[in-house]
Structure 1
Amino acid sequence: MAHTLKPITLPAKPLKCRTFRQAQRSRYRLLQKENNNVQAGKETDPAAGALLLINKPLGWTSFDAVAKIRSSLYKKMGKRLKVGHAGTLDPLATGLLIVCTGKYTKRISEFQDMEKEYEAVLKLGATRPSFDKETEIDATFPYTHVTAGMLHEAAAAFTGEIEQTPPVYSAIKVDGKRAYESARRGKDIKMQSRKVLISTLEINRVELPDVHIRVVCGKGTYIRSLARDFGRALNTGAYLDTLKRTRIGIYNLKDAVNVEDV
């Protein structure tokens, strides 16, 4: 039934630069050199510490990927290593996941602070409680009134620093518990809005009800929430149909390997 209607963080050890701008440039050069080493396989000694670029498959949690890599390294090396990821991807999302071992786990927060790039498909005309396909459709809306002009106007409205309310189906803690745990038990949860930065929001293709977008954003941005808000701005409903993370800082999905290949 249809319803009506960030800058890259500097290292702990100060760089010997005369100005902040020089410090940023020097930091970028260090990361670029490190990225080249990752691509060349020079930063992949798991025992000493490795930075692994992983292409997370559909249906896997980020923890699943970490557990698989930890198990694979144990079988190859005969000892357990400290392994962690630098930024959660939902099970229904694919793409770049940075996994750190050894000494690199101390730098996880640094990688988490880097900007992210995503390719996503928004599905207009319906909503879901989780804002993605994890839950069933709870309402439908007309969407044929949506025009190209409306889409680009909405994209402009959500570019820059905006207020965003995270999904209740998220790992954010509310009253000491993960929000998604309470949501799955049917509890009413009040999520607090917060400021996030969306530096780029492009409409790449439109095949209604599907809208293909590219997003470059800062830490803490939920593309699922963006989908929900985008639908509201168009006087319809919307949810996140597909999501792929293509970049974290200077690290690109094209340089990632499959979990099974680690």
Structure 2
Amino acid sequence: MQEIEPYGEVFLVNKPIEWTSFDVVKKIRNALKIKKVGHAGTLDPLATGLLIVCAGKKTKSIETYMGQEKEYTGTFVLGKTTESFDLEREVFDVADPSSLTLEDVKAAAVKLSGDIMQVPPSHSAIKVDGKRVYKAARKGTEVKLEARPVRVSTFEITSFENPKVHFRIVCSKGTYIRSLARDLGEILNVGAYMSSLCRTRIGDFRLEEAKELEELIKEIKERPHENI
């Protein structure tokens, strides 16, 4: 009698805006009708782009994928900021950025490149004393977060339409792009927040290879499920 190979599969998904990474996992889990499904690296609800979802025996590879280099494109806005450094919280004015030049912004980006120490945003899923810090932040409770080493191997300013800074960033696991927005704004003394973000690569996996979520779900539902 032929032994059936245990099921395992890796899905590359273009995460829709306003979906959490867990929302995507739940949708795929329900379509596959199995419990063992997880993602390899959270994307915030307002971010889009490449999300790796592993199912069955492939969930053992999640940590490997999470540790790989990431690439992002997106936009920062200068002169304003928010508590979360993105559009999840209310935007408020900080300072007038109109005198800043492309050279100013590029010089600030250089200071945030290479091996740096970065403080994660308080509105993040990091745990302190076993609790997610964003839950405390939303209640107005301050949680002290320690700076952590990360690597920003590329911080390219692809265009500057003051106050909008368009970028391409290549970085290590654990790098928060929202924190780079905050720190860029602080270096330039005008404040900044992230208005858009798209993950374009994880290791050798590229966004161009990913499927739209609804297309993927349709394909999964149309396939035979005997071996899952």
Q: If the length of structure 1 is used for normalisation, what is the TM-score?
A: 0.79
Match of 2:44 in 1: 90
Larger RCO, structure (CA 8 Å, separation 6 or more): 2
Match of 2:12 among 16, 37, 53: 53
Match of 1:118 in 2: 72
Structure 2 spans left out of the alignment, 5+ residues: 1-5, 217-228
Code of the aligned partner of 1:197: R
The range that moved more, 100-109 or 147-156, is 147-156
Question: Matches of 1:114 and 1:63 in 2, distance apart?
Answer: 20
User: What is the DSSP-based 3-state SS (H/G/I as helix, E as strand, rest coil) of the residue aligned with 2:96?
Assistant: coil
Deviation at 1:149, TM superposition (A): 1.2
Deviation at 1:81, TM superposition (A): 4.0
Question: Matches of 1:118 and 1:245 in 2, distance apart?
Answer: 4
Match of 2:191 in 1: 237
- Runs of 4 or more off by more than 3 Å in structure 1? none
Match of 2:119 in 1: 165
Code of the aligned partner of 2:65: F
Q: If the length of structure 2 is used for normalisation, what is the TM-score?
A: 0.90
Match of 2:201 in 1: 247
Match of 2:28 in 1: 69
2:171 equivalent to 1:217: yes
Code of the aligned partner of 2:177: I
After superposition, the C-alpha distances for 1:120-158 in whole angstroms (9 at most, x for unaligned) are 100001010001000002442110121111111111111
Structure 1 spans left out of the alignment, 5+ residues: 1-46, 75-79
**Percent identity at matched positions?**
53
Query: How many aligned residue pairs are there?
Result: 212
Match of 1:14 in 2: none
User: What is the DSSP-based 3-state SS (H/G/I as helix, E as strand, rest coil) of the residue aligned with 1:66?
Assistant: helix
Code of the aligned partner of 2:45: P
Question: Matches of 2:159 and 2:88 in 1, distance apart?
Answer: 24
Question: Matches of 2:156 and 2:90 in 1, distance apart?
Answer: 28
Match of 1:191 among 145, 152, 157: 145
Question: Matches of 1:127 and 1:190 in 2, distance apart?
Answer: 20
